[in-house]
Each structure stands twice: as C-alpha cells, then as structure tokens.
Amino acid sequence: MKKIRFVIVGCGAIAKAHLQAIALSEHAEVTVLVDKVLPRAQQLGSSFQVSKTVRDYKESMGNVDAAIVALPHHLHSQVTTDLLQNGIHVLVEKPLALNTGQCDAMIKAAKASKAKLAVGLARRFFDSSRFVKQVIESQMLGDIISFDFHEGIIYKWPIMSDFAFRKETGGGVLADIGVHILDLLLWWLGDYDSFEYYDDAMGGVEADCELHLKLKSGATGFVQLSRTRDLRNSCIIQGERGRLEIETTFNSQIKLKINDQSMNLTGLAISEGMAEESADDIFSRQLEDFVGAIHHNRQPFIPGEEGKRTVQLIQTCYNLRQPLKYPWISLDSTKDLKVQIES
C-alpha cells in the first residue's frame, strides 16, 4: 500500500499529536510542515525528521496527497476549502468551522473534487465512547429518559497564540471543550428538538456556560461547561432500565447500574487485545481511519456532515444566548449591560 504524503498546516500544540501518530504509521508520512512562524515549523520538523518547512500551505500543493489542518478555528474554512478544491484530502481539527455556511462550502468542495473530508473529533475514537454507543443502541438501558453532562477544568492546555480567548477567532468554552461534548451527545442520543442556552460572555468570550436540551426522542438533559472550575467531568445517561456514567478522559471509568439490582459494574472499556489506551492510540486510530478512507474510497468515520451538526448547534446557541444567572449580578444590571453591548 502506497504511503499517503501529508502536509500539516499549523504547528501548534496539537500538531505534535498528529506527527506522533504518523510516525507510528506504516501507511503515512509527513513531507511538509506549514506555519507562518517558520522557526516554529523548523523546530518541530527537526524533532520528527521533516526537512521541508514553509510559511504558506499553497507551497505544498502538488507534492502531497493529504493535509491535516491544525490552525485556529477561524482559519479552518478558507484553508480546508482551498485544499479540497485542489484535490487534497483533508482531516481538519475540531470544530469544522465557525458557522454552517462555512461547513457547507467545505462539504461542497469535497464532493466536487471527490477528496475526503474528515473532522478531528477524536473522542469518538475512545474505547469508552464506542462502548457507550453500543450500550445505547443495544437497548440495554431501555429508552433514554435523561442525561447530565459536566465538563470543566481550570484552563491549562499549552497554547501558541491567544485565539482560544478571542471572540472573532472562535474562542470560548462552548466551541473548544463543548464541541467534543456536544458531538458525543448528538452521536449517542440523536438530534435535539429544543434548548435554552446560558453563558457568561457579556459581549466577549464565554468561560462558563449551560445548555438545557430536549431531544427528539423525548429525553431531556443538561450540559455544563467551564474553563474556570474543576467540574465532575463525566456524562450520566439515565434510561428506563438503568443508568450509565462515563468519565470524559482517556481510560474513562464507566459505571453501569441496572434498575432493581443490588450490584453495580465499574471498570474500563478495552478493545480486544489492547491494554489501557493512550493519546497515541487515539490519534493513530483517527489517522488510520482517514488513510483507510482515502485508500478504499469510503467515507471517514467522522465526515464533514457529522462535523456540521455540532457547529450548527453551537452557532444557534450563540445566536440565542441568555446571560448566566449569578447571585451577585442583578437582573437589571444584566439588562443594562446587554443594552450597552448592543448599542
């Protein structure tokens, strides 16, 4: 099988995970690294034996088969669409784009050129995530009644720029952490019927938010996200027959409680023949799925259309946002602030 030649566009923190996955693969190789700060690309290239580094991704066209777009959120659409239009397969980091119009342009470009478009929603590749999907589809829990998802941690992810904290570049906890949680929610439980969304943005970027949803299945639930607090960091799904709780990290502990039974089951979901999984395992699974889609001319596990679902929900949340209610902020002062922002 011929190796797929990759360009990685953007040499921030997440690029190292992709480079490590490709280094472990027999089916792929990185031939070009791209970053507007060339010394950053050169330093990364020297660590992974990639000799060609450039500032502009267009310089790689004609010399690569596929691209990983690991740029700030607001740059995903333009660069990905351009690459796809030139017949280059693209795995783009989450979120797919900032709005559904950009998503549609990317999906259209992929269809027109017959290039593959995959979205880096890596948590779907967790053993635990796939186990939850199987449990729900098997009807082990019966019909789902409710759900309660909490994820929050005081922000300490290594960053190369401030894009994750600026409104115009797609910053904010909902588009950052939330895109993973909402993707899993929609994948596990199906589409939503209605919702209410609250955050603390006050004209800027939200650090805390809450989402109350009713799904088309009739299930109702709650999502809470934070960059300022350490939350429970688990997802609870309540069905007619039982309850499932899953942590939101690697090697997530899963707790299964069947109604009217005195014993609970707690442990890890592990693929046959595997030990505990690592970040390398997750990114390698994602890469091999993408490479397989290219070689066998099939859809990747998470195509553009799936990435669009979460972007659409996030976009609608932002359009219909309401202020979070805090005991130290009166309703009148919140209204006054809203008027000042809109004016």
The tens digit of pLDDT for each residue in 218-230 reads 999 999 999 999 9
For residue 343, is pLDDT > 50?
no
What's the order of all strands across the beta sheet hosting 192-199? 265-267, 254-258, 242-247, 234-239, 144-152, 220-226, 208-215, 192-199, 322-323
- From the number of C-beta atoms within 10 Å of its C-beta (0-12, 13-18, 19+), residue 331 rates as exposed
pLDDT at 41: 96
322 or 277: which carries more pLDDT confidence?
Answer: 322
Residues with Cβ < 8 Å from 298, sequence gap 6 or more? 292
> Which residue, among 178, 155, 158, 157, has the nearest Cα to 95 in the 3D structure?
178
Q: Strands 28-34 and 4-9: what pairing?
A: parallel
pLDDT at 332: 60
Q: Which 3 state secondary structure label does DSSP give 95? A: coil
Q: Which 3 state secondary structure label does DSSP give 338? A: helix
For residue 339, is pLDDT > 60?
no
pLDDT at 39: 96
Q: How far apart are alpha carbons 143 and 137 in whole angstroms? A: 10
pLDDT band for position 327 (50/70/90)?
confident
Q: Which amino acid is located at 154 in the chain?
A: I
Q: Strands 220-226 and 242-247: what pairing?
A: unpaired
> Which residue, among 174, 210, 217, 209, has the nearest Cα to 193 in the 3D structure?
217
Rounded to the nearest 10 degrees, the angle between the axes of helix 178-189 and helix 127-137 is 30
The tens digit of pLDDT for each residue in 277-315 reads 888 999 999 999 999 999 999 999 999 999 999 999 999
> For the chain, how big is the Rg over CA atoms in Å?
21
- From the number of C-beta atoms within 10 Å of its C-beta (0-12, 13-18, 19+), residue 212 rates as middle
Q: How far apart are alpha carbons 218 and 146 in whole angstroms? A: 9
pLDDT at 164: 61
- Highest mean pLDDT out of 62-76, 156-170, 274-288, 319-333: 62-76
Q: How far apart are alpha carbons 339 and 163 in whole angstroms? A: 27
CA pseudo-torsion sign 292, 60, 159, 202: negative
CB of 4 closer than 8 Å to CB of 28: yes
The tens digit of pLDDT for each residue in 87-98 reads 999 999 999 999
Residue owning tokens 């070009």: 32
Q: How many residues does the chain have?
A: 343
The tens digit of pLDDT for each residue in 162-200 reads 666 666 666 799 999 999 999 999 999 999 999 999 999
pLDDT at 161: 59
Residues with Cβ < 8 Å from 242, sequence gap 6 or more? 140, 141, 142, 256, 257, 258, 259
Domains of the chain, earliest start first: 4-123+280-302 (3.40.50.720), 124-274+311-332 (3.30.360.10)
CB of 128 closer than 8 Å to CB of 268: yes
177-201 in b/e form (b: 16+ CB < 10 A) is bbbbbbbbbbbbbeebeebebbbbb
Residue owning tokens 């099988």: 1
- The DSSP 8-state label assigned to residue 165 in this structure reads G
The tens digit of pLDDT for each residue in 96-147 reads 999 999 999 999 999 999 999 999 999 999 999 999 999 999 999 999 999 9
Q: How far apart are alpha carbons 193 and 226 in whole angstroms? A: 24
The tens digit of pLDDT for each residue in 3-28 reads 999 999 999 989 999 999 999 999 99
- The per-residue pLDDT of the chain, averaged, comes to 92
Q: Which amino acid is located at 182 in the chain?
A: L
Q: How far apart are alpha carbons 245 and 254 in whole angstroms? A: 6
A 10 A CB-CB count for 262 gives: 5
What's the order of all strands across the beta sheet hosting 4-9? 52-54, 28-34, 4-9, 66-69, 89-93, 117-120
Average pLDDT over residues 42-46: 96
Both tokens assigned to 237 = 């799904």
